[in-house]
Amino acid sequence: MKITVRVWRQPNSQADGRMVSYEVDQVSEDMSFLEMLDVLNERLTHEGQDPIAFDSDCREGICGMCGVVINGEAHGPVQTTTCQLHMRSFKDGDEIDIEPWRAEGFPILKDLIVDRSAFDRIIQAGGYITAPTGAAPDAHAAPVPKNAADKAFDAATCIGCGACVAACPNGSAMLFTAAKITHLGLLPQGQPERDSRVLGMVAQHDEEGFGGCTNIGECAAVCPKEIPLETISRLNRDLLGALVRGDSN
Amino acid sequence: MTDSQAPTTPDPTLGVDADSLYVEGDAIADTKAPDGPIDAKWQQRIFSARLVNPANRRKLSVIVIGTGLAGASAAATLGESGMHVKSFCYQDSPRRAHSIAAQGGINAAKNYRNDGDSVYRLFYDTVKGGDYRSREDNVYRLAQTSTQIIDQCVAQGVPFAREYGGLLDNRSFGGVQVSRTFYARGQTGQQLLLGAYQALERQIAAGTVTMYTRHEMQELVIVDGRARGVIVRNMVTGELETHFADAVVLASGGYGNVFYLSTNAMGSNVTAAWRAHRKGALMANPCYTQIHPTCIPVAGDYQSKLTLMSESLRNDGRIWVPKRIEDCEKDPRDIAEEDRDYYLERIYPSFGNLVPRDIASRAAKYVCDEGRGVGPKVGDFRRGVYLDFSDALSRMTQAQIAAKYGNLFDMYERITGESPYQVPMRIYPAVHYVMGGLWVDYDLQSNIPGLYVTGEANFSDHGANRLGASALMQGLADGYFVLPNTIGDYLADGPFDALDESHPAAVEAKQAVQSRIDHLLSINGERTVDSIHKELGHIMWEYCGMERNEEGLRKAIGLIRELRTEFWTNVKVLGTNEELNQALERAGRVADFLELGELMCIDALHRRESCGGHFRSESQTEDGEALRHDDEYAYVAAWQFGGTDQPGDVGKPVLHKEDLTYKFIELKQRSYK
């Protein structure tokens, strides 16, 4: 099939950007979306035009490196990562808009590439369990109810891609933050730091310029790993508890 | 090291002589493993290694390249100990390293199943699985350390699969008859890496680790014979930065992308390891490549990567092809049971679908070569076999299957448009892991003092074939427990003299990087980087893939040399260095792959035996299994770079042999029948 893509081109973080149109021929429906861009980039290179810069690494939906807004939707029309989106989701003659994540917390570096280091700083503010190497008790010392372990796992599958932020009208990263709060908060190992974790991570979230959550739910609707919105309820409950308990922790 | 000419008498059974391609140097006499009973060696080494007291650790610094399991765990642990760590990754966050994509699980000799497992059995299985080409001492230590890893990860909050009683669940994996694999659905690598990543971020917050994302190592800096620093390129601004430390750890992963198509991440590359190799670090067993049997088959020539379907699927899926070629185009559901050939169960009745990866891969190649492959034709052949869950679906509910493999089934359906709940999956082998890597001693130190290598980037533990769920085990063993206990012995002599950027070694290294980049940007030829990389991949897959022979390997070496010349005279890299330039990044990596590819072929050519993932068609048993020649080849082939500083000039490599002696395990022909 033959399609037209309109792509956000911006040479660097300081320069202005604009949408540029390209036609792409001989697109196979078995191609991934990023392979379609690869094919276009090969052509642009032959023509002496700067290829389109975009992030990707594992291309199997797990590293979280890829992610663009396709026709206004984060990761496009299917609830998956951009690398797992295939061209069979489009048809001959389609016009497709491709833009970077747009959020105050994610400055654009070039074309479709943004800086997501704010996510790392949110994790630094408490998204871990302090367990120095070598200090661990036997793995069976603390049984975890299967239900809690499964739910913790579901939250832990967050890949940190940032689609939740891109989709949120407030540019909030609450789903990302809440996924980690939920993962660690459901496990016995995560209890000692539960209060300091939520206080630290939420404070850092706000400091990075991400907006507040107003329960719109766009984040969960685009999340490729289907992190549920209820993780944010858990975050709010933990936050309230931590604030009430205050200095005792 | 002195070079002496290798014996020039050609092996009459194998035809043409390959010895003009390399020269033989001194043997490697000592791996520095302690003497004594095998189960006491590691404790002995921990005790004999010199210590650095906590106050002095603050004066020491270490550079760690790569943030996968082996790098993040090492950086976090060294940071916790009080050292100053600089950690580098090419991705935008350390959490993206390709360990994240490991699916199936991590082995540990916990014997929680009470099924006869033990440290010794894990050791035995790993040496046997590696086809007796790994070091006993290292493998035993790996098996010993495995149990600590699970404890550590659980303490970090890694959400392993659990049973209703709240205890950890296990499953079995290829090449073994016990259930010792711990897992987190089909995302074990992700969960283990996030554990290590979070430990790393904790140290970044504590100020012991400084993180440099979107920075790629370009060169190693050696001062007075010691690894003292690196030149890295800031991938956003293009700036070349010089960083110094008292030691350098390479945890930069494997080089499977030399095949272009592999299950590795797009950015996985050999550059850090190859730059060290060019500066004198020995590259060991580079031809040992693991071809994973269960990947989604190639669909077209635009394809950028291959996707693995976890080996764990072989627990419940049955592999088959039609008995008759004329059935290959049929809908598999219309092929009667008696017309199906469950070839692994037929040939290997005791291990069945769970034979080791190299055996399963080659068996798939053979049935496809016979014309009994399924799926679309790629070239003249259909390259696919069925992995069928219909038996499992009649034994278990769809929900039970989904709980075990749901994410894999979803991923398969997204890529192929077919649901494995309805139609059998199609799978085919793909390059997945490399057992070869930089040579290290028992301490994980390379032959360059102060240069340590961990994880897939080193060669040490898997011999000629790695068992499933052992890569995660090795990465974390190296990073959490081995390196932090051995590097202190070297650093006890430090801190070494303070250096600055004006040191001649640093200036020279930086200039070399700059001129290489300038050269790449100035060629302005006709070929894109990707087109050359694809061509290299075709050569490697055709002649240095699942099956190798003398004639093909010699041909491949010629083709690679021509392609390398083509690259350095006709590649087209647009733009400048002083910007985010992804074509330039790729060009640098492909330049190094073009040198590595030749060494892999020379290594494969010189090893005139079959072992594990290295299958020479001239050396097989009557049943078509890998036939080793222990009298001649029970050694590690460690190659010294023989070229010059000129890009593309690899010269003649020098072979150093480290004899493998088996004191505890008897060498046998592997049998999984």
- Judge if the upstream peptide bond of residue B495 is cis by omega within 30 degrees of 0: yes
The answer to whether the CB atoms of A139 and B154 lie below 8 A apart is yes
What integer is the mean pLDDT of B414-434? 94
For residue A187, which residues of chain B lie inside 8 Å, CB to CB?
157, 159
Q: Is pLDDT at B12 greater than 50 in this prediction?
A: no
The answer to whether the CB atoms of A131 and B266 lie below 8 A apart is no
Q: Is pLDDT at B42 greater than 60 in this prediction?
A: yes
Q: Closest partner residue to B528 among A12, A42, A127, by Cβ? A: A42
Q: Is pLDDT at A128 greater than 90 in this prediction?
A: yes
Chain A nearest CA to B164, separation (Å): 5
The token duo for A63 is 């590293």
Q: Which of A233, A102, A112, A217 is nearest to A162 (CA)?
A: A102
pLDDT at B69: 98
Question: Token pair 């072979």 is at which residue?
Answer: B655
Task: Tell me the CATH number of domain A116-131+143-248, given options 1.10.1060.10, 3.40.50.1110, 3.40.50.11440, 3.90.660.10.
Answer: 1.10.1060.10
Cβ-based neighbours of B129, under 8 Å, separated by 6 or more = B175, B176, B356, B462, B463, B465, B466, B467, B470, B612
Which of B203, B409, B520, B582 has the most A C-beta neighbours within 10 Å, making it the best mutation to test the interface with A? Answer: B582
Return left, alpha or beta for B153; rule: phi > 0 is left, psi -120 to 50 is alpha, else beta: alpha
Residue pair B479/B148 in contact by the 8 Å Cβ criterion: no
pLDDT at B176: 83
- Per domain, the residue ranges of chain B are 292-432, 502-631
A50 touches chain B (CB under 8 A): yes
Q: Is pLDDT at A121 greater than 90 in this prediction?
A: yes
For residue A57, which residues of chain B lie inside 8 Å, CB to CB?
91, 96, 98, 265-267
Q: Can you point out the beta strands (E) in B467-544?
A: none
In chain B, what is the greatest distance between 2 CA atoms, to the nearest angstrom? 75
Q: How confident is the model at residue B14 (pLDDT cuts 50, 70, 90)?
A: very low
Q: What is the architecture of the domain spanning B292-432?
A: Alpha-Beta Complex (3.90)
Cβ burial of B164 (10 Å; 0-12, 13-18, 19+) is exposed
C-alpha to C-alpha distance for A186 and A202, rounded to whole angstroms: 18
pLDDT at B654: 97
C-alpha to C-alpha distance for B496 and B511, rounded to whole angstroms: 24
The answer to whether the CB atoms of A136 and B154 lie below 8 A apart is yes
Which of A40, A62, A153 has the most B C-beta neighbours within 10 Å, making it the best mutation to test the interface with B? Answer: A62
Q: Which of B516, B535, B540 is nearest to B599 (CA)?
A: B540
Residue pair B309/B408 in contact by the 8 Å Cβ criterion: yes
pLDDT in tens, B139-193: 999 999 999 999 999 999 999 999 999 999 998 877 788 999 999 988 999 999 9
Q: Closest partner residue to B190 among A59, A62, A138, by Cβ? A: A62
Q: Which residue of A has its CA nearest to B163?
A: A146
pLDDT in tens, B109-140: 999 999 999 999 999 999 999 999 999 999 99
Q: Which residue of A has its CA nearest to B73?
A: A133
For residue A157, which residues of chain B lie inside 8 Å, CB to CB?
187, 190
The answer to whether the CB atoms of A149 and B155 lie below 8 A apart is no
Q: Which residue of B has its CA nearest to A125?
A: B205
Q: Which residue of A has its CA nearest to B94?
A: A120
Q: Is pLDDT at B543 greater than 90 in this prediction?
A: yes
The answer to whether the CB atoms of A129 and B96 lie below 8 A apart is no
The answer to whether the CB atoms of B198 and A127 lie below 8 A apart is yes
pLDDT at B9: 45
| Phi, psi torsion values for B476, nearest 5 degrees | -75, -35
Q: Which of B669, B667, B668 is nearest to B659 (CA)?
A: B667
- Per domain, the residue ranges of chain A are 3-110, 116-131+143-248
For residue B164, which residues of chain A lie inside 8 Å, CB to CB?
146
Size of interface A-B (CB pairs under 8 A): 216
CA atoms within 13 A on the CB side of A110: 16
Let me know if B333 is a catalytic residue: no
pLDDT at B5: 42
Q: Which residue of A has its CA nearest to B532?
A: A42
Chain A nearest CA to B581, separation (Å): 8
C-alpha to C-alpha distance for A204 and B539, rounded to whole angstroms: 50
Which of B99, B192, B414, B528 has the most A C-beta neighbours within 10 Å, making it the best mutation to test the interface with A? Answer: B414
For residue B583, which residues of chain A lie inside 8 Å, CB to CB?
45, 51
What integer is the mean pLDDT of B329-343? 95
For residue B91, which residues of chain A lie inside 8 Å, CB to CB?
57, 63, 65
Q: What is the pTM of this model?
A: 0.95
Is the domain covering A3-110 a CATH 3.30.310.50 domain?
no
For residue B301, which residues of chain A lie inside 8 Å, CB to CB?
none
Q: Is pLDDT at B10 greater than 50 in this prediction?
A: no
By percentage, how much of chain B surpasses pLDDT 70?
A: 97
Chain A nearest CA to B166, separation (Å): 4
The answer to whether the CB atoms of B154 and A39 lie below 8 A apart is no
Q: How confident is the model at residue A75 (pLDDT cuts 50, 70, 90)?
A: very high
Q: Is pLDDT at B620 greater than 70 in this prediction?
A: yes
Chain B nearest CA to A149, separation (Å): 6
Q: Is pLDDT at B197 greater than 50 in this prediction?
A: yes
In chain A, the N- to C-terminal Cα span, in Å, equals 61
Q: Is pLDDT at B3 greater than 70 in this prediction?
A: no
A125 touches chain B (CB under 8 A): yes
pLDDT at B6: 44
Q: Which of B119, B105, B96 is nearest to B187 (CA)?
A: B105
* CB contact burial B182-219 (16+ within 10 A = b; e otherwise): bbbbbbbbbbbbbbbbbbbbbbbbeebbbbbbbbbbbb
Side chain identity, residue B294: T
What integer is the mean pLDDT of B545-560? 96
- Sign for the CA dihedral angle at A201, B480, B85, B454 comes to negative
The answer to whether the CB atoms of A140 and B168 lie below 8 A apart is yes
What integer is the mean pLDDT of B612-639? 93
Q: How confident is the model at residue B4 (pLDDT cuts 50, 70, 90)?
A: very low
pLDDT at A248: 54
Q: How confident is the model at residue B565 (pLDDT cuts 50, 70, 90)?
A: very high
Q: How confident is the model at residue B18 (pLDDT cuts 50, 70, 90)?
A: low
Q: What is the architecture of the domain spanning B502-631?
A: Up-down Bundle (1.20)
pLDDT at A204: 98
Per-window interface: A 9-28 vs B, CB < 8 A: 11-12, 28
pLDDT at A249: 47
Q: How confident is the model at residue B430 (pLDDT cuts 50, 70, 90)?
A: very high
Q: Is pLDDT at B358 greater than 70 in this prediction?
A: yes
Secondary structure class of B563 (helix, strand, coil): helix
Element (H, E) at A21: strand A18-24
Average pLDDT over chain B reads 94
The answer to whether the CB atoms of B304 and A32 lie below 8 A apart is yes
CA triplet B613, B618, B622: central angle to 5 degrees? 90
Q: How confident is the model at residue B315 (pLDDT cuts 50, 70, 90)?
A: confident
Average pLDDT over chain A reads 97
Q: Which residue of A has its CA nearest to B527?
A: A46
pLDDT in tens, A185-222: 999 999 999 999 999 999 999 999 999 999 999 999 99
Q: Which of B357, B362, B586, B628 is catalytic?
A: B357
Chain B nearest CA to A216, separation (Å): 27
